[in-house]
Structure formats: structure tokens, C-alpha cells
Amino acid sequence: MPQRITVGVGDLGISGQAGVEIVTHSLGSCIAVVIHDSDAGVGGMLHLMLPDSSINADRAQRQPAVFADTGLPILFKKAYALGAKKGRIRTVLVGGAQIIGGAGHFNIGKRNYAAVRRMLYRNNVLVAAEEVGGTVNRTVRLDVTNGKVQVRINSQETIEL
């Protein structure tokens, strides 16, 4: 059985060890940013909840992984500290669903997705795969050993990205 790092809402996990699985559960409007550098054997996952830390600067200080603009830099810096290189990192995005209310109701999922894509674009980070939008919840698993990303949709179908 692999060692498991469970990433909660507004948190992140990173590892440079083979045999580690990083997982986050029940993504709704939140976004999981999954990164992996196969050469370095480094993988990480951020489970962000909101797009912009300016809505709550105190919370951003206490829990920066809640927000896209403060959590993403930390995720990448921690990966670099373990030996990952920007040009080798494979990036996968999961989540950003519209779970609460109907279309147009806050649009948190779409806003989270747009904020993440904007930040990655500005930093020349390409997205290799994504499973975003819709009205479903998702659970994401990263096998740090091989970079395999599995997404379980509505506790039923599992796909590999």
C-alpha cells in the first residue's frame, strides 16, 4: 500500500519520494492543480478554493493555499526546492464545477479556473490535461512514482489524465 498524502480544501501536498500517492476528495467549484516532474520524481497538488486573496488578506496570510494567486507560487516553489524544473513539469487541472445554484450563481468554479489559467499563462506554464466544469464533484489521485493522474467523477467513473 502506498504512503498517502491527503490534501484538504485550501491545502497542498508535495513529495519527492517514490511510492507516495497524493489525493484530494470531493472537488466541486474548487480547483486541484496537479504537477509532476518525472525526471526529478517530484509531484504535488494544490486544492484551492477561491481565485483572489484580495477578498480576505488575513486568511491569505494564515492559509495561502486557499487562493489561486497565493497558493500556486507556493506549490511550484516547493516542487523546485525538491528538484523539479519548470520546463519538465506536467500540469493537470481538475474541478471548477458549478455545484451551488444554477448558471450565473456566483460562478466560483469558472472564476477559479480562469484565475489559475491566467496565472499559469503569465508564467509560461502549459496545461497538459484537464477535467473541469460541469456540475459534478471529483476526487483526484497522483502517483508520484510515475505521474499517473486518476480522476473519479461523482464517485462512479474513473478516468486517467
Active-site residues, by number, are 30
With the C-alpha atoms ordered 24, 144, 159, 96, is the resulting torsion angle positive or negative?
Answer: positive
Look up residue 79 and give its three cell numbers: 516542487
- Bin 6: left if φ > 0, else alpha if -120 < ψ < 50, else beta: beta
Assign 23 to helix, strand or coil: strand
Task: Single out the residue of 22, 21, 17 nearest to residue 7, CA to CA.
Answer: 22
